[in-house]
């Protein structure tokens, strides 16, 4: 009888542990999904902006922005995307005779964002760098979205 009670107690604990694990797993999936949604929207903005640039002025294919989803690789790739996107926009604005644009459109804020991401790996500094990176990421995203709108308005066909 005691063995039966102990056996029931053991299985109850196993079931409760499994339920707890399932809840934690679902929670992790929800957090990852919520974190990925803004990243995907950001990458769509970058891709659509590059799509607005004529093929001869693109310094990278628009689909290459999706490489930013690769963990750790994205730290280095972000510098490359910022650089190539700025050069592509510069060439396209020059071709379309759009004036009053930065020398390298979006480059400065994009570079600051990329550097702050790197600083997130430095203890203590990472708190401030992380907050700064989020702010610069949003500013860069808005700036690139504005450039995309400007390209659409000055479309040459």
Task: Report the distance separating Cα 57 and Cα 60, nearest Å.
Answer: 9
Task: Report the distance separating Cα 39 and Cα 42, nearest Å.
Answer: 5
Q: How many CB atoms lie within 10 A of CB 65?
A: 23
Residue 98 lies in a domain: yes
Task: Report the distance separating Cα 20 and Cα 17, nearest Å.
Answer: 5
Cβ–Cβ < 8 Å for 116, 138: no
Task: Report the distance separating Cα 38 and Cα 139, nearest Å.
Answer: 14
Residue 120 lies in a domain: yes
Residue 6 lies in a domain: no
Q: pTM of the full predicted structure?
A: 0.82
Residue 32 lies in a domain: no
Residue 68 has a pLDDT of: 97
Domain span at 110:
41-153
Residue 89 lies in a domain: yes
Task: Report the distance separating Cα 73 and Cα 121, nearest Å.
Answer: 14
Residue 26 lies in a domain: no
Residue 21 lies in a domain: no
Per-residue pLDDT of the chain (157 residues; tens, 9 = 90+): 555 454 455 555 555 666 677 787 888 888 888 889 999 999 999 999 999 999 999 999 999 999 999 999 999 999 999 999 999 999 999 999 888 778 999 999 999 999 999 999 999 999 999 999 999 999 999 999 999 999 999 876 5
Question: Number of structural domains, the chain?
Answer: 1
């Amino acid at each position: 009888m005691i063995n039966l009670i102990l056996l029931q107690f053991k299985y109850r604990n196993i079931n409760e542990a499994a339920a707890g694990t399932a809840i934690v797993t679902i929670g992790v999936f929800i957090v990852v999904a919520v974190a990925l949604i803004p990243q995907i929207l950001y990458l769509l903005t970058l891709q659509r902006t590059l799509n607005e640039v004529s093929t001869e002025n693109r310094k990278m294919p628009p689909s290459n922005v999706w490489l930013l989803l690769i963990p750790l690789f994205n730290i280095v790739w972000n510098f490359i995307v910022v650089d190539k996107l700025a050069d592509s926009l510069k060439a396209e604005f020059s071709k379309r005779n759009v004036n009053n644009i930065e020398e390298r459109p979006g480059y400065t804020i994009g570079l600051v964002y990329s550097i702050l991401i790197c600083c997130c790996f430095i203890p203590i500094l990472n708190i401030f760098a992380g907050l700064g990176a989020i702010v610069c990421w949003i500013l860069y995203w808005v700036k690139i979205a504005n450039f995309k709108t400007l390209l659409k308005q000055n479309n040459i066909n």
